[in-house]
Amino acid sequence: MVNIIMKVCVYAICKNEEKFINRWFDSMKEADKIFVLDTGSTDNSVKKLKELGVIVKVKKYKKWRFDNARNDSLKMVDKDTDICVCTDLDEIFIKGWRKKLEDIWDKSITKLGYNYNWNLDKNNKPIVNFYIEKIHTREDYKWTHPVHEILTFIGDKKEIIKYTDEITLNHYPDNKKSRKSYLKLLELSVKEDSQDDRNMHYLGREYMYYGRWNKSIDTLIKHLSLKSATWKDERAASMRFISRCYINLKRYEEAKMWLNKAIDEAPYLRDAYVEMALLEYKLNNYEKVNYYCLKALDIKTHQKTYINEPFSWDNTIYDLLSVAQFYLGKYQEALKNVNIALTYDINNNRLLNNKQIIENKINYKI
């Protein structure tokens, strides 16, 4: 069997990522070449990248769009590259990815979907996991959309996408980094294509983040009305976000109505059950908290989707259950669940205090 040697190049955009560079480079150096487009760093990013042998170009933009920057960074990649790998500097491949990529790839593939841990807990255990598709052929794609940009196929042959769990990319975001440009860019994206269901959903979510409750509700309902909005996971998320807006407007019955819609839309996802439990907890309805938490725990399969909320798979359910069961007089069950909650966060003072209160109640009864 002939061993076909492929040229693999990594490309990325960067702005003030100095603290991530060494870690990122160590993960990416399995590639033949690494290209970075710096978009105006004021720290030592450019200097550090060049010292590591990364090919760097600097370009500042008067009007920022992520797709333009991604496309400019892709233009840096050698034309004879067989496989392009786009990453961000807050992401890390698990070592050995290059060999696995070569084993998986064949000449018919145009794009590869691989394992992406978008959110990890303190123990590096995945909480939100899905397939990401940012490995692709050199000439068949361009980046589109001002924000939440995606690879759009422009090739003259058939697009072939393959998926694998053999390659894993972990995400360690800088939560202090500003995302304030996202709202205007999402508004621009929807203006450019008002029928794009994905960005309509993102825009509605962004309005929610900004506390623009009625604007968010209107936009998310618009998302649900689009003919192309058929993905049940995302539809259910829009319904949950509408519910959150109604909660902030103190319109709790409408909030419950939309959570019930979300449950009906995607009953295989925990998220709407947990949000309903959180709402009932807010309203001191402990029987219902207990009910919805147990319904959530009946779902054992953690779907590979970006829609999953971290609180559906961390200690939140067990925390809620322990409190609800305490108020319902189910002290032994409450103790069991607070202990499970503590396995996720062993030094959590509030949970430790709750455990002590529950134990005191049990001992007093004895």
Report whether pLDDT(3) > 70. Answer: no
Kindly report, residue by residue over 88-122, the tens digit of the pLDDT: 999 999 999 999 999 999 999 999 999 999 988 87
Average pLDDT over residues 16-34: 97
Q: What is the pLDDT of residue 178?
A: 66
DSSP per residue, 41-108: -SSSHHHHHHHTT-EEEE---SS--HHHHHHHHHHTS-TT-SEEEE--TTEEEPTTHHHHHHHH--TT
**Cβ(274)–Cβ(293) under 8 Å?**
yes
Report whether pLDDT(26) > 80. Answer: yes
**Cβ(308)–Cβ(133) under 8 Å?**
no
Which residue shows structure tokens 């123990």? Answer: 123
Q: What is the pLDDT of residue 47?
A: 97
Q: What is the pLDDT of residue 122?
A: 78
Q: What is the pLDDT of residue 365?
A: 62
Report whether pLDDT(45) > 60. Answer: yes
Q: How confident is the model at residue 2 (pLDDT cuts 50, 70, 90)?
A: very low
Q: Share the mean pLDDT of the chain.
A: 95
**Cβ(229)–Cβ(223) under 8 Å?**
yes
Kindly report, residue by residue over 332-349, the tens digit of the pLDDT: 999 999 999 999 989 999
Q: How confident is the model at residue 364 (pLDDT cuts 50, 70, 90)?
A: confident
Q: What is the pLDDT of residue 268?
A: 97
What strands lie across the sheet with 126-136, from one edge to the other?
A: 55-58, 33-38, 8-14, 83-86, 126-136, 111-120, 161-171, 91-93
Q: What is the pLDDT of residue 1?
A: 34
304: exposed, middle or buried (C-beta count within 10 Å: 0-12, 13-18, 19+)?
middle
Alpha-helix runs per DSSP H in 249-315: 252-265, 271-282, 286-297
**Cβ(156)–Cβ(169) under 8 Å?**
no
Kindly report, residue by residue over 135-189, the tens digit of the pLDDT: 999 999 999 999 999 999 999 999 999 999 999 999 998 877 767 789 999 999 9
Q: What is the pLDDT of residue 127?
A: 85
**12 - beta bridge partners?**
36
Average pLDDT over residues 237-266: 98
Q: What is the pLDDT of residue 4?
A: 61
Q: How confident is the model at residue 220 (pLDDT cuts 50, 70, 90)?
A: very high
Residue 300 to residue 9: CA distance in whole angstroms: 38
Closest to 86 (Cα-Cα) out of 64, 112, 57: 112
Q: Which residue has the higher pLDDT, 122 or 284?
A: 284
Percentage of the chain modeled with pLDDT above 70: 98
Average pLDDT over residues 263-288: 98
Alpha-helix runs per DSSP H in the chain: 21-28, 45-51, 66-75, 97-104, 182-192, 197-209, 213-225, 232-248, 252-265, 271-282, 286-297, 316-327, 331-344, 349-365
Percentage of the chain modeled with pLDDT above 90: 89
Report whether pLDDT(201) > 90. Answer: yes
Report domain extents, the chain.
8-171, 182-292, 314-366
Q: How confident is the model at residue 366 (pLDDT cuts 50, 70, 90)?
A: low
**Cβ(77)–Cβ(35) under 8 Å?**
yes
**Cβ(255)–Cβ(247) under 8 Å?**
yes
Closest to 49 (Cα-Cα) out of 75, 79, 29, 77: 29
Which helix (H) or strand (E) element contains residue 144? strand 141-144
Q: How confident is the model at residue 70 (pLDDT cuts 50, 70, 90)?
A: very high
| CATH number for the domain formed by residue range(s) 8-171 | 3.90.550.10
Please give the CATH superfamily to which domain 182-292 belongs: Tetratricopeptide repeat domain (1.25.40.10)
